[in-house]
A and B are shown apart, each in its own frame.
Chain A
């Protein structure tokens, strides 16, 4: 589980998560996400290197989105790994998150 934070070109803070968004890491993920949102007006999440996601992981993304709306900050998910994309689509929550789902080249079904 690795969290790397950097500042993107437009000044937003971008956190990349490398690992699995699953219940075993739920506490840490929650802390990182909520801290990130509260501390940055525009917070971007790069999930392109997330291997696995379960309901607990998904729930935390939803929590993060709620929280960002609550305090009027912006949360953007900028990269979706196949697993993340598949689950967000399965749960019919694409519109809820409102991020474009980028399908990397060479991965068209």
Chain B
């Protein structure tokens, strides 16, 4: 797909999202004119963009939506549920058309075309006769441009007279911006600023606009294109555009129509090169003569009226014909603070920063070895800078999760309608940031969880009423940061998971054996097993065969985890934990024998000395708490003699604490995560590798796996000793 189509389709999708969000707000009773305007503008921008890149299917279809929205905006029709449904379907259809564009087809096939016609048909009741008529007028072309036969005049400039409306500034528009934008179409040969409309200082309101301009504009653009520049303020301002080489009379009419004095305007026109002095004088003489000849002063205003009439037909024509050239200045202004960057470039930058971190570490090490104080100082400054660069580079990739969450408003709406349930979606922590690549990959699993919650979790209103709950079900989406991870929760107040049914189903599917005793949590976790689905009736929302096992697999692929807490009759809570970033982390470097291991620093709680190394137990009493630990030396079978003193790094993950026993604590270390080869993919306890300043490789510990291993061992032990455990006081020093 070529570049411009690509840009168009990205932008159009953004606009579609905005449209959808706006429509949902309208349906919820929001009657803010700005919301309606926003939706209209989005449709308008899509249509304009489609026109520019010549995707007529999108352009034509969006035009229908736009007509409905326009009537809505003008208060000619009222918002109602059917209309919003039809408009939302329209949004979907535009999405479908965009998909086709992305796959290289510019013309829809018959099926899609029919779908589009159906939607258009649904929208027809909302289109008044007037709009339909207006739509037919699209073909009316540019206003007649009359060329004069004035001899010997070579004036190739348009003449633009504009008096900005008083409220332009208050409406957030700046005349300066429009004029600057004009420069995209051509060259301003001469510009005169008029401040005549400005009252005395005391009467002047600094927030009103009193400016007017006479502009000689050299351009090959059409009149329509020039008018478009002022589109956003034209309701508000007095705009006259005369084509190059207009008849002298037209200029005279213009002078009449403008508020300033005739002579002054005449001078301006002469100065800007539109008229010669002789022409002006002759013209004015003739006109005043005619005026007297006609017997009264009514002649002049009449002429003015004709002009105004002529021009006042234009706005409508232009608006109806507004299918081309939608490079809109207002949008430009909003965009200027953002830069679109290709994701690949960003990835490349992060890669380079990663290399920089490694190279920096190596320089640092050499500097320390050399013993030169000034060199060490220089490298330490350097490494601080590298750290900042790393942080800001990673920050570039961070996006707020809110956008992903907002998609679910639509889901909630559709499910409510389809299943006859009342569902309220509550979003918390939409501003929580996480890595863009994580956001992209979490969308589908999240969609599955949310649909499950709405489809299976929330009961029908009747069942809810019977259970003494409010009829409207509530689904919460929460996001927050927690010790180096981001936590996303999907909470519903529905019926909860039915443990008996899960167990029965698991036995039926042969996942567990009959008579096997499982803890409650183990039963609940069965839903993540492959090929598990408890609802007999397969709806078209969830239960499509992709089960919770896929959700878990997808999340695990992001180095995350998912678990569920549920209470019969009160609802369930799915908790997803994900690492904040996939590229570089702050690590804590430790040593066992000759090998080095990195523990993600965010998970480290404290370090303590393991004084009595001879104990065979693998738990200690940490200030009255049982702290299970693993010995890395044993776990990874590191050779070499056990040193006299060992250390415990206390880590925390998902509310569980565990200890990791190492020989040495080597301090903080910026860690660039290098993925392990596919050969090691299934290895437990190792999350990746990194390169140290010395060029040696260090392994990054997968704390999550180690902690759950500890927890499992502890549970086993607890079972073995029937839950009774004797705690010995242990020489643990902080």
Contacts and interface: CB of A to CB of B under 8 A. Distances in A.
Interface stretch (B59-67, B198-206, B306-314): B198-206
A54 B176 CA distance: 7
B193 A93 contact: yes
Interface stretch (B207-215, B318-326, B525-533, B617-625): B207-215
B193 A92 contact: yes
B206 A56 contact: yes
A12 interface: no
A67 B201 contact: yes
Interface in A84-105: 87, 90-93, 96
Given A55-B211, A92-B191, A87 B198 contact: no
A37 to B, nearest CB: 8
B513 interface: no
A82 B435 CA distance: 40
A30 interface: yes
A30 B191 contact: no
A92 B190 contact: yes
Contact of A26 (B179, B195, B201, B207): B207
Contacts of B209: 55-56, 59
Contacts of B190: 92
Given A59-B211, A93-B193, A66 B201 contact: yes
B388 interface: no
A63 interface: yes
Interface string B204-246: 1011011100000000000000000000000000000000000
Contacts of B187: none
A10 interface: no
Interface string B158-191: 0000000000010000111001100000000011
A23 B198 contact: no
B192 interface: yes
B415 to A, nearest CB: 45
Of A34, A59, A93, chain B has the most CB atoms within 10 Å of the CB of A59
Nearest to B173: A55
B198 A63 contact: yes
A70 B204 CA distance: 14
Nearest to B272: A92
A29 interface: yes
Interface in A22-80: 23, 26-27, 29-30, 34, 54-56, 58-60, 62-63, 66-67, 70
A100 B394 CA distance: 49
B195 A66 contact: yes
Contacts of A67: 201
Contact of A58 (B176, B192, B200): B176
A27 B206 contact: yes
A59 B201 contact: no
A90 B176 contact: yes
Nearest to A58: B176
Contacts of B204: 30, 63
Interface string B339-358: 00000000000000000000
A58 B177 CA distance: 13
Nearest to A67: B201
Nearest to A31: B206
A39 to B, nearest CB: 13
Of A56, A90, A96, chain B has the most CB atoms within 10 Å of the CB of A56
Nearest to B201: A67
B206 A26 contact: yes
Contact of A56 (B169, B179, B200): B169
A23 B172 CA distance: 9
A103 B125 CA distance: 64
A23 B211 CA distance: 14
A63 B202 CA distance: 10
A27 B169 CA distance: 13
Contacts of A59: 195, 198, 206, 209-211
A70 B176 CA distance: 27
Contacts of B169: 23, 55-56
Contacts of B211: 55, 58-59
A59 B164 CA distance: 12
8 contacts: A23-B206, A23-B207, A27-B206, A56-B174, A63-B198, A66-B198, A90-B179, A96-B193
**9 A-B pairs with least C-beta separation:** A26-B206, A30-B206, A91-B193, A67-B201, A55-B175, A62-B195, A55-B176, A92-B191, A54-B174
Given A55-B175, A59-B210, A90-B180, 8 more contacts: A23-B206, A29-B206, A30-B206, A55-B169, A55-B211, A58-B176, A59-B206, A66-B198
